[in-house]
């Protein structure tokens, strides 16, 4: 079955979702309807779509969301370059698995080393809270590490497939204090710089912090 955005969301709700940082969540959506929707929105970078077991979430990011997202991606890529870490940026690509009934479009994501079909590191910027269990989505997709921005900082999670029962509350992910892919990255420095509005000041403070940290 082929559906459009208006067939899933009413005209009034489309007006609502166009407001900054708005979320629309509905349940009982078939996989075919989900795939039709993301195909319809393929050239529209304004929305982020997540799917899990028939629950569909569509997010219209705010300006603040996009500033934190852009700064985080820019600073991370400067860090990769300065440390000569090979990576493949994959942006907000759509990743989905029909058999596991899961799909997502992260804010930023990276393959560390060689390019892969699923990124190693995913970054989610949450200015307002969502109702879809993003960690469960990423577990089903096979993403190893997830960084979630909430309020003014990151919560980092690393997938522990060998001991999933120890981390039931976080869907098999362990909360960690530093990235296992990027152990030399000062997360507090990244957090501090990600919210700096002025681009030059943002980069200057980040690079000075990298120098101070050796």
- Residues 171 and 138: their CA atoms lie apart, in Å, by 9
pLDDT given at position 129: 62
Examine the domain organization and report whether 93 and 167 are in the same domain.
yes
Number of domains in the chain: 2
Examine the domain organization and report whether 102 and 175 are in the same domain.
yes
Examine the domain organization and report whether 105 and 69 are in the same domain.
yes
Examine the domain organization and report whether 67 and 170 are in the same domain.
yes
Examine the domain organization and report whether 104 and 136 are in the same domain.
yes
Band the pLDDT of 13: cuts 50, 70, 90. Answer: very low
Examine the domain organization and report whether 35 and 75 are in the same domain.
no
Tell whether the model's pLDDT for residue 202 goes beyond 90.
Answer: yes
For 103-161, what is each residue's pLDDT tens digit? 999 999 999 999 999 999 999 998 766 667 999 999 999 999 999 998 889 999 999 98
Examine the domain organization and report whether 101 and 187 are in the same domain.
yes
Examine the domain organization and report whether 123 and 36 are in the same domain.
no
The arithmetic mean of pLDDT across residues 38-61, rounded, is 89
Cβ pair 154, 179 in contact under 8 A: no
Domain of residue 175, residue span: 63-212
Tell whether the model's pLDDT for residue 9 goes beyond 70.
Answer: no
Examine the domain organization and report whether 54 and 78 are in the same domain.
no
For 174-197, what is each residue's pLDDT tens digit? 999 999 999 999 999 999 999 999
CATH code assigned at 131:
3.90.1570.10
Band the pLDDT of 163: cuts 50, 70, 90. Answer: confident
Query: Which of 41, 60, 79 is where one domain is finished?
Result: 60
Average confidence score pLDDT of the chain: 88
């Amino acid at each position: 079955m082929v559906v459009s955005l208006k067939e899933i969301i009413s005209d009034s709700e489309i007006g609502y979702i166009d407001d900054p940082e708005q979320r629309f969540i509905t349940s009982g959506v078939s996989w075919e309807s989900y795939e039709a929707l993301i195909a319809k929105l393929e050239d529209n970078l304004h929305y982020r779509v997540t799917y899990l077991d028939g629950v569909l979430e569509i997010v219209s990011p705010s300006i603040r969301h996009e500033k934190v997202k852009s700064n985080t991606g820019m600073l991370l890529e400067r860090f990769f370059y300065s440390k000569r870490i090979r990576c493949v940026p994959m942006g907000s690509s759509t990743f989905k698995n029909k058999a596991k009934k899961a799909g997502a479009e992260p804010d930023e994501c990276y393959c560390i080393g060689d390019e892969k079909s699923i990124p190693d590191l995913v970054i989610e910027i949450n200015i307002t809270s969502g109702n879809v269990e993003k960690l469960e989505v990423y577990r089903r997709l096979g993403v190893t590490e997830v960084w979630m921005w909430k309020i003014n900082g990151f919560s980092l999670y690393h997938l522990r497939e060998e001991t999933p029962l120890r981390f039931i509350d976080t869907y098999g992910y362990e909360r960690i204090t530093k990235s296992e892919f990027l152990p030399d990255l000062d997360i507090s420095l990244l957090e501090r710089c990600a919210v700096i509005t002025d681009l030059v000041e943002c980069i200057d403070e980040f690079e000075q912090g990298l120098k101070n940290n050796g």
